[in-house]
Amino acid sequence: MSSPRDVVISGIGLVSSLGEGPDAHWQKLAQPGLEPVLEAARFAPYTVHPLPEIDWNLQIAKRGDQRQMETWQRLGTYAAGLALDDAGIKGNDELCTTMDMVVAAGGGERDEAVDAAILAASESRNDRDVLINEKLTTELRPTLFLAQLSNLLAGNISIVHKVTGSSRTFMGEEGAGVAAVETAAARIRSGQSTHILVGGAFQTEHSDMLLGYELAGYLHRGPWKPVWQRQGAEGGGVVTGSGGAFLVLE
């Protein structure tokens, strides 16, 4: 039996409230007295760590590709492009076409306008099962609905960045991200893959994402506090943030 191969990180793509890229994050985190980037008004009483201003054109050149993606998919595709750039692989057809991919992705973002229309119409109708079917068939475009499927994040990365090796998607957030990296590293160690793009994205600046946490009583309310000062505060202890992170492993 051959000995396990080493696994090295040759590219990092990172986007968060602190900026883009590992260098920007390192510089920010090394600053004494760094204050977190917060958005406290838009989703009050909940605070979030928002995305920075992003020029999507830098990594997703076609506007048509951008339009059919929700923000979380654009974010993942953008971070994947940053990782490929950092590894010096982007645009290298030989390496990209043989590169495998492991992605962590949620189930997509709900269309809040459609949800609101269904709730408003249900106030004056009793045949709500019929109402829901009517709205689903008339208010949701098939292309928009398909763009919500979790495994299409990998599909969009493949289309935009021409990464066309094998692909695997883990549906979820934190646990899925850990499983994705573990799986990618195991494939390199075993010799099943020579180079892999692995990562995920999460967009918290969407009411339905916050609702999922609040239903379980997890979200911290009121002014932001460091994690170790949130015990006993109103609500839970979670302050979510938007971000995308991808690695190139070899």
pLDDT tens, residue by residue, 85-109: 999 999 999 999 999 999 998 876 7
Question: For 139-190, where are the E strands, in sequence order?
Answer: 167-171
Q: Is the pLDDT of residue 147 over 60?
A: no
Whole-number pLDDT of residue 149: 67
Instruction: Name which of 123, 179, 172 is nearest 151 in CA terms.
Output: 172
pLDDT tens, residue by residue, 174-211: 899 999 999 999 999 999 999 999 999 999 998 888 98
Phi, then psi, of 241 in degrees rounded to 5: -145, 150
| Same domain flag for 70 and 137 | no
| Same domain flag for 15 and 128 | no
| Same domain flag for 216 and 188 | yes
Q: How much is the average pLDDT of 223-237? A: 86
Q: How much is the average pLDDT of 35-62? A: 95
| Same domain flag for 17 and 120 | no
Least confident segment among 133-137, 144-148, 244-248? 144-148
Coil vs helix vs strand at 72: helix
Angstrom CA distances, 34 to 15, 25, 41, 139, stand at 17, 11, 21, 45
| Same domain flag for 60 and 167 | yes
Q: Which range of residues forms the domain containing residue 23?
A: 9-108+150-249
pTM of the predicted model, to two decimals? 0.88
| Same domain flag for 133 and 170 | no
Whole-number pLDDT of residue 241: 95
- Split into its structural domains, the chain has a count of 2
| Same domain flag for 226 and 170 | yes
